[in-house]
């Protein structure tokens, strides 16, 4: 693989979203050239993405293209117009529960959109293609912690299936073309700019507004919540590592039970949550738990933010955003 040259641009798909905007922050701070491709869809209020993007617009190193990853003409054009060295593919239809309601859209965007990007990337011989997968590929894996070498043929949501299909496409394109590819299985990312429908964000907003929250199941389901700064650090480390084809878990490796998460939020907001219990939705897994030994060994990945501190930082951010911009997230 040729060394990455500083005059090359980094393509970040979904670069106005939660994870993508933080990644763009990092690259622009490092004086890297960034091309952001985002369709600014209405899965949640598009003004949230515009707010995420606002600091980037003043940088001469930032190019924004509003478009769909499924549109090969747009994707091909941006590759021809910019010297793309790396692709960080974050754009996707996200969320387990909505995927159950609209599986066709999830498969179309997450699989066919990924195929378009891979097809164009191999024609332009990019240095590294990074695909954001998900812990959802593990389904209800009974073996814990979840290892990259575990069997992953038991997804329980269309979202999880679409991410596994994306991984398989990546593996196939690497085999056929030699394109260097890394697939990152991200474990429940949280922190400032988190999507408004995700549990931590939803619970914090509801509790601060004096509203009750709904807890699904018996409160004992668990998630390996991973703070955004640690995820960004992991992505950067992956992009800088030599690679042919590899799958990595990026998690915190410390699962937190749902009821414990609610109590931590209560402490951080200094309010007592009003809890209503409900049945577990179809498609939700019982737990996630990342084995990060491969990422530690190969990348030097080492998450630094414990859950209590991360939630405190999210609450501080949320209060600041509401004070400055009104409740865009309502």
Nearest to 265 by CA among 321, 202, 219: 202
4 given a catalytic annotation: no
Closest CA to 238 of 86, 107, 111: 86
Q: Which of 44, 62, 138, 159 is catalytic?
A: 159
Expressed in percent and rounded to 5, the helix, strand and coil fractions of the chain are 45, 20, 40
Q: Report the candidate in 102, 223, 225, 222 with the shortest Cα–Cα distance to residue 157.
A: 102
| CA of residue 203 relative to chain centroid, distance | 20
**Which of 108, 102, 103, 167 minimizes the C-alpha distance to 138?**
167
Are 86 and 10 within 8 A, CB to CB? Answer: yes
Q: CA–CA separation, 30 vs 140, rounded Å?
A: 39
Any idea which residues carry the catalytic annotation? 159
């Amino acid at each position: 693989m040729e060394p990455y040259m500083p005059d090359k641009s980094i393509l970040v798909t979904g670069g106005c979203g939660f994870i993508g905007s933080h990644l763009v922050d990092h690259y622009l701070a490092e004086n890297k050239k960034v091309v952001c491709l985002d369709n600014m869809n209405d899965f949640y209020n598009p003004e949230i993405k515009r707010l995420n993007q606002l600091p980037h617009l003043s940088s001469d190193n930032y190019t924004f293209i509003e478009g769909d990853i499924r549109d090969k003409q747009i994707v091909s054009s941006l590759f021809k117009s910019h010297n793309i060295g790396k692709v960080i593919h974050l754009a996707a239809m996200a969320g387990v529960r909505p995927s159950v309601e609209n599986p066709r859209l999830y498969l179309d965007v997450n699989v066919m959109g990924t195929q378009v990007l891979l097809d164009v990337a191999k024609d332009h011989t990019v240095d590294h293609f990074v695909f954001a997968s998900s812990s959802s590929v593990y389904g209800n894996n009974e073996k814990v912690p979840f290892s990259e070498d575990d069997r992953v043929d038991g997804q329980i949501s269309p979202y999880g299936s679409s991410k596994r299909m994306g991984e398989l496409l990546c593996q196939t394109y690497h085999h056929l073309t030699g394109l260097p590819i890394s697939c990152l299985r991200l474990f429940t990312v949280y922190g400032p700019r988190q999507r408004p429908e995700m549990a931590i964000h939803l619970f914090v907003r509801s509790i601060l507004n004096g509203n009750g929250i709904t807890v699904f199941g018996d409160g004992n389901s668990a998630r390996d919540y991973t703070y955004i700064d640690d995820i960004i650090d992991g992505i950067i480390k992956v992009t800088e590592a030599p690679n042919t084809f590899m799958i990595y878990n990026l998690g915190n490796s410390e699962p937190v039970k749902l009821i414990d998460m609610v109590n931590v939020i209560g402490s951080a907001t200094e309010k007592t949550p009003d809890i209503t219990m409900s049945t577990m939705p179809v498609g939700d897994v019982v737990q996630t738990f990342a084995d990060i030994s491969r990422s530690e060994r190969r990348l030097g990945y080492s998450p630094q933010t414990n859950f209590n501190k991360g939630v405190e930082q999210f609450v501080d951010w949320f209060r600041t955003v509401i004070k400055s911009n009104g409740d865009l997230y309502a």
